Amino acid sequence: MGFIEFENITKSYDTSEIVIDHLSLTIPEGEFVTILGPSGCGKTTLLKMVNKLTPYSSGSITVDHKDIQDWDTIKLRRSIGYVIQQIGLLPHLSIEKNINYILNITKSDKKFRRGKAEELLELVGLSKDYLTRYPRELSGGQKQRVGVARALAADPKIILMDEPFGAVDEIARTALQDEILNIHKKLKKTILFVTHDIQEAIKLGTTIVLMNDGKIEQVGTKEDLIFSPANDFVREFFGIKGFQATLDKSILRDLYKRILTKEESIETLYQKLKS
Ligand SMILES: Nc1ncnc2c1ncn2[C@@H]1O[C@H](COP(=O)(O)OP(=O)(O)O)[C@@H](O)[C@H]1O
Ligand SMILES: [Mg+2]
């Protein structure tokens, strides 16, 4: 469970401008896909189509091999968690109630709900002391953690995230990124994560989708996009900046140590690895 397929999707908000242009994309179960691209290229629009918040003009989208038009909308949304930048916690409800908002509606018993909320808070790195607090008592980063916990409450197979950490400070963002990577490793959800931040896309995505102007320029691993760019747009978008972004921790650390001598610059190494 958690398979998503876009087939030849087209979208215009009004008659003049095409926002999504004959886009096809297959997302296997359990994948962590980052959707990257400049502002206005259609990332949010694409994401909101999956849980039927935005209709498309033509083409089809299937979730678990069933056309989303054939899915009951409520049922579909319950199987898809959704996290956005301004997560909109309900101010008059405690954190526990905010997390279990969905479960409350289905009237599961109180002890179960408390246990569930504790478990979810722990998963997103907050102590259970927060259960009885109110949203106004939390920092921006903590609120986003609660937002992630809430998205996980109904145990969805898919999580859609739209620049979820865009408004929090850098330290909180790094911590939240690490947390979501852990959650993905632990729970094996399919995650579709929109960002315009190349570093974030590289750090999180097992697959990166680079969009521009309503189209996909390239789909692949970070290595694919950095070292085998499909066209000039990808080359320019990633280039040295993308390469540098990988140097922190991941794949290139060893290479970096082996190849880069003291007097060499990152540029030289980049050229070396490319050739
Ligand atoms: N509700 C809307 N009505 C009309 N145009 C919209 C609406 N939402 C987005 N757009 C336009 O669609 C394009 C893609 O927007 P969006 O999907 O939000 O891009 P991104 O998330 O990549 O920044 C932009 O040109 C934007 O102005
Ligand atoms: Mg957007």
Residue 7 Cα distances to 50, 68, 160, 180, angstroms? 12, 12, 18, 28
* Residues 171 and 271 reside in one and the same domain: no
- Identify the pLDDT of residue 271: 73
Q: What is the dihedral of CA 215, 43, 206, 189, to 10 degrees?
A: -130
Same domain for 3 and 72, yes or no, is yes
Pair (2, 58) in one structural domain: yes
User: Can you tell me the distance from the alpha carbon of 199 to that of 183, in angstroms, rounded to the nearest whole number?
Assistant: 19
For residues 161 and 209, what is the distance between their CA atoms, to the nearest angstrom? Answer: 14
pLDDT, residue 262, reads 53
Q: Is 147 a domain residue?
A: no
Has residue 75 been placed in a domain? Answer: yes
pLDDT value of position 194: 98
Q: How many domains does the chain have?
A: 2
Ligand 1 binding pocket includes 47 (Cβ within 6 Å): no
Backbone torsions φ then ψ of 235, nearest 5 degrees: -60, -45
Q: Do 74 and 1 share a structural domain?
A: yes
CATH code assigned at 75: 3.40.50.300
Same domain, 44 and 1: yes
Residue 144 lies in a domain: no
Last residue of a domain, one of 181, 202, 220: 220
> What is the dihedral angle through the alpha carbons of 270, 231, 228, 197, rounded to the nearest 10 degrees?
70
Same domain, 65 and 3: yes
Residue 207 forms beta bridges with which residues?
33
**Quick one: which H or E segment has residue 239?**
helix 232-247
Phi, psi of 231 (to 5 degrees): -160, 180
Residue 92 lies in a domain: no
Say yes or no: 68 and 163 in one domain. yes
| CB of 19 sitting under 6 A from ligand 1 | yes
Cα–Cα dist 174/189, whole Å: 20
The answer to whether residue 34 is domain-embedded is: yes
User: Do residue 60 and residue 4 come from a single domain?
Assistant: yes
Residues 187 and 199 in one domain: yes
Q: Is residue 173 part of a domain?
A: yes
Distance from the alpha carbon of residue 120 to the mean position of ligand 1, in angstroms: 33
CB within 8 Å of 44: residues ≥ 6 apart: 162, 194
Q: What is the pLDDT of residue 36?
A: 97
Q: How confident is the prediction along the chain (275 residues), in pLDDT tens digits per residue? A: 889 999 999 999 987 789 999 999 999 999 999 999 999 999 999 999 999 999 999 999 999 999 999 999 999 999 999 999 887 899 999 999 999 887 765 556 788 888 889 999 999 999 999 999 999 999 999 999 999 999 999 899 999 999 999 989 999 999 999 999 999 999 999 999 999 999 899 999 999 999 999 999 999 998 899 888 999 999 989 876 666 666 655 555 555 555 555 556 667 767 776 66
* Shortest-distance Cα residue to atom 6 of ligand 1: 13
Pair (161, 233) in one structural domain: no
CB-ligand 1 contact for 195 (6 Å cutoff)? no
- Same domain, yes or no, for 275 and 160? no
Residue 116 covered by a domain: no
H/E stretch holding 228 reads none
Q: Is residue 18 part of a domain?
A: yes
Mutate to test the pocket of ligand 1, among 44, 162, 196, 212 (most ligand atoms within 8 A of CB): 44
- Nearby residues of 64 by Cβ (< 8 Å), 6 or more positions away: 1, 2, 3, 157
At residue 15, the pLDDT reads: 75
The residue segments making up the domain with residue 236 are 222-275
Q: What's the rounded Cα separation, in Å, for the pair 208 and 225?
A: 8
What pTM does this model have? 0.88
CA terminus-to-terminus distance, the chain: 41
Asked if 160 and 75 sit in the same domain, the reply is yes
CB 112 less than 6 A from any atom of ligand 1: no
